[in-house]
């Protein structure tokens, strides 16, 4: 029996990068996965990858910051696969500036995607978790469900030019610890993974504005200057940035049964960079 047979997972931001790798990992262990991306094509690609390997997946395309997204995301798991066992809040991006140049719009956008969106998704999941826990108590069954929120080393230590991102990622740690206390009675573990430098399209793209992502019609430059990236890698004890597969692996550890007695914790996945 695979570790996650008959489990149902929802993973925001899983059309690409770390989220896609995690979706494939969970599906390989038997979980049915609801995939999400802003765009249809990458979401469909992830679903197809899982299906080709013999797994089950569906897609909910849309912006996680939309007011009704959390309800739609959870409903897709219930309607499509009959339950909900694993929630991973992975979607996000950066929109950097030093504080005196940062607009309210810039601040709000990052707080919405990294803090409000996970809050809404988890609020939508609460009735499902509560009802399942009540039913299982009455039948004598015990099922451990999982929430993994994605934070960052910037949320733990701060980072110049990222006051919005650092604040959002620090906030998700607080949310994680609060819900670990609230949801223990449902036998739900709530943990966070804080990523260090991971090589994704958001870090490896040119930092000269030639590579952008489209978020709600806004063209946002992405990428880290190669010299800055090389300097950061020199400070990492393992000597390199992590891969999306390695980042997904850290989240995977908190989704499998071997971590059933771990809750309220922040796992730093940074190659030794603290």
Query: Active-site positions?
Result: 165
SS3 215: strand
Quote the distance between the C-alpha of residue 48 and its chain's center. Answer: 20
Phi, psi of 131 (to 5 degrees): -65, -40
99-116 b/e (C-beta count within 10 Å ≥ 16 → b): eeebeeebbebbbbbbbb
**CB 58, CB 34: distance < 8 Å:** yes
Phi, psi of 117 (to 5 degrees): -60, -50
β-sheet bridge partners, residue 145: 188
SS3 79: helix
SS3 256: coil
């Amino acid at each position: 029996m695979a570790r996650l047979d008959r489990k149902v997972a929802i993973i925001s931001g899983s059309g690409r990068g770390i989220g896609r790798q995690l979706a494939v990992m969970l599906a390989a262990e038997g979980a049915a996965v609801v995939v999400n991306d802003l765009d249809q094509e990458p979401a469909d690609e992830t679903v197809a990858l899982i299906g080709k390997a013999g797994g089950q997946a569906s897609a909910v395309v849309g912006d996680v910051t939309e007011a009704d997204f959390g309800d739609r995301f959870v409903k897709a798991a219930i309607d499509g696969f009959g339950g909900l066992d694993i929630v991973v809040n992975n979607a996000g991006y950066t929109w950097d500036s030093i504080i005196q140049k940062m607009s309210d719009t810039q601040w709000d956008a990052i707080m919405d995607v990294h803090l409000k969106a996970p809050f809404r998704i988890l609020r939508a999941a609460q009735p499902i978790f509560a009802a399942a826990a009540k039913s299982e108590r009455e039948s004598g069954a015990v099922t451990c469900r999982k929430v993994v929120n994605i934070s960052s080393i910037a949320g733990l230590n701060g980072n110049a030019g990222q006051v919005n991102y650092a604040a959002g990622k620090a906030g998700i740690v607080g949310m994680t610890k609060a819900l670990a206390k609230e949801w223990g009675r449902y036998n739900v573990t709530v943990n966070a993974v804080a990523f260090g430098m991971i090589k994704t399209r958001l870090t490896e793209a040119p930092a000269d504005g030639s590579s952008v992502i489209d978020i709600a019609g806004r063209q946002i430059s992405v990428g880290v200057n190669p010299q800055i990236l090389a300097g950061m890698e020199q400070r990492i004890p393992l000597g390199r940035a992590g891969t999306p597969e390695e980042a997904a692996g850290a989240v995977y550890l908190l989704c499998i049964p071997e971590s059933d007695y771990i809750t309220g914790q922040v796992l730093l996945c940074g190659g030794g960079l603290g």
